[in-house]
Structure 1
Amino acid sequence: MPDYAIADDGARIAFAERGTGVPVLLIAGQATGMHGWGPFADALARDFRVIVFDHRGIGASEARAGGPGDAQYTTRAFAQDAVAVLDAAGVAAAHVVGHSMGGRVAQWLAADDPERVRRLVLIATTASDKVGERRDPAVIADLLSGDRERMTPLFFDDDWAAAHPEAVDGFFTRVATREALRGHFAASRDHDAREVLARITAPTLVLHGEHDPLTPLPQAALLAEAVPGATLIPFDARHGLHLDTPAVADAVREFLLPPGQRRG
């Protein structure tokens, strides 16, 4: 059973944790539940206290507090939900890792609440879709189709997906209303943190797939240039590189561990 944080508007945000050590908060992508982190979270939990949560409206998290009203579906509001999770977990500051829309949420968290973020990892994400190279509209149609056969090639290597059906299922399986799915898509689409990225003080690592059809690699370069001191590492991968590319988890681990515990 998950634990629950209480967001600013009273909504209950479900979270869970595993492992011990310095806390690492994982922020999932658009309409993706906490269980979608799968083997990536397991790998980090060998060295860290890993905290995962369901975004509002997804899985066991409420879209809003009981009663009528509009859910807060923006990446900046999601960042405040993440702060509520840290508070409920008793964590003053954590390393923060965000994938896709979760990386957009993490940008706000690092800019608005810099004291809560030790180190920041942004995976397969952008500062804004309003500038730079745009994705193919056909790719968006595949993403929104709900058809697993159309979506899987956007994220994962074909051979890896065939060999790891449980991880793929965990990533795509979610409980959400149509309202929540629309809200998450709009929040991710409308994200624009360009004006605040210079405020990020946490050491930042940007990881991106060279063959990402959802977020072209030049977008990652723009993001890394905008965050002070950020480092960009490209991988021979697609949008779900944190799951199907073991070198990504290795890079995150090396970046987050103290120098004396790193292999390099």
Structure 2
Amino acid sequence: MISRLSVDLQCLSYDLRGFGESQLVFKSHVHQATPVLTPLSSEIQESRSTGDSQYSPLAYAQDLGILLQQMNISSAWLIGHSLGGTIALWAASQLPEVIQGVICINSGGGIYLKEAFEQFRTAGQKFLQVRPRWLSQVPLIDLLFTRASVARPLERYWARQRVIDFVVADPEAALGTLLDSTTEEEVNRLPQLVSQIKQPVYFLAGADDKVMEPKYVRHLASFHRLFQYIGDNVIEIPDCGHLAMLEQPDTVAELIRSIVIGH
């Protein structure tokens, strides 16, 4: 996305707490010569002290607030994929003066189906327990990841990256994120959150997404004022699964560009 969008838009991507390279700063043996985070606003400090998990979507949104503060970014659009979309929505609600709008990709929900979520959480925990470091060295393992959750096979480069990201994620963060983002309270809170966001919010859905089906994307989108105001704030991409930005990068980049520049 960045290679396509950076022609006329400034772009920034970052690793969430506990994932990619961001997990390193939370290890006790890492020497920090200087503080890397600026003080939080009183509102963020208060919500931090209410007992919220450090791996909830709200906690991740607060991390993003710190990052934007540290980088002196006072105006930005957020693009979030799947859980990243939920985090972007929370950030928009927390930082209404900074976040100008949100584009959620393969992200929706807001309906808690008890049996389905319990099965998902159980399967996810078992899946996370089988993550040996040598997994990424297994010949052809990346071929499995070229077809997982997508409507059309990915290039092997991106499949290999999916394997690496899966293996190196901090165990506590991976489990915490899985559990904290799928609680009944968290899921049921999403529609109210979306309804209160004043900034524009758009949803890009994969027509063949089996992880986050378009009907669930449309359900969450319907709580935002744009759904009624312009008739629809959901754009469905044909022949597309759960990784729209990798399956159809040109289409997604053009949609993002037209939405952001249009505003």
TM-score w.r.t. the length of structure 2 is 0.71
- Which amino acid letter does the alignment assign opposite residue 255 of structure 1? I
What is the CA deviation profile of residues 96-132 of structure 1, one whole-angstrom value per residue up to 9, with x for unaligned ones? 1110000010111112221121121011112435159
Determine the structure 2 residue equivalent to 1:212: 209
Whose Rg is larger? Answer: 2
**1:180 and 2:173 correspond:** yes
Which secondary structure does the structure 2 equivalent of 1:186 belong to? Answer: helix
Mapped to 1, the partners of 2:174 and 2:191 lie a distance apart of 25
Structure 1 regions of 5+ residues with no counterpart? Answer: 1-39, 260-264
Q: What secondary structure sits across from 2:19 in the alignment?
A: coil
Cα RMSD over matched residues? 3.2
Instruction: Say yes or no: does 1:257 pair with 2:253.
Output: no
Instruction: Determine if contact 1:99/1:123 at 8 Å carries over to the other structure.
Output: yes
Q: 2:36 matched to 1:54?
A: no
- Residue 240 of structure 1 aligns with which residue? 243
How many aligned residue pairs are there? Answer: 216
Cα-to-partner distance string for 1:36-74 (whole Å, 9 max, x where unaligned): xxxx2221112211111111111221477565xx97010
CA contact (8 A) 1:54 1:60 kept: yes
Q: Is 2:163 aligned against 1:155?
A: no
Looking at structure 1, the residues matched to 205 and 115 of structure 2 have their Cα atoms a distance apart, in angstroms, of 14
1:25 aligned residue: none
CA distance in 2, matches of 1:81, 1:167: 26
Unaligned 5+ segments in structure 2 are 29-51, 132-140, 228-232
Q: Say whether the 8 Å CA contact 2:192–2:223 is kept in structure 1.
A: no
1:139–1:213 contact (8 Å) kept in structure 2: no
Change (3 A) 1:132 1:138: closer
Structure with the higher helix share, 1 or 2: 2
> Deviation of residue 180 (structure 1)?
1.8
Partner of 2:6: 45
Residue 202 of structure 1, CA deviation = 1.2
Q: Is the 8 A contact 1:213 1:238 kept in 2?
A: yes
User: CA 1:148 to 1:128, structure 2 compared with 1: closer, same or farther past 3 Å?
Assistant: farther
Query: CA offsets per residue over residues 21-45 of structure 1, 9 Å max, x none?
Result: xxxxxxxxxxxxxxxxxxx222111
With 143-152 and 218-227 compared, the bigger mean Cα shift is at 143-152
Please identify which structure carries the higher strand content: 1
- 2:252 match: secondary structure: helix
Q: Distance in 2 between matches of 1:131 and 1:253?
A: 35
Question: Identity percentage over the alignment?
Answer: 23
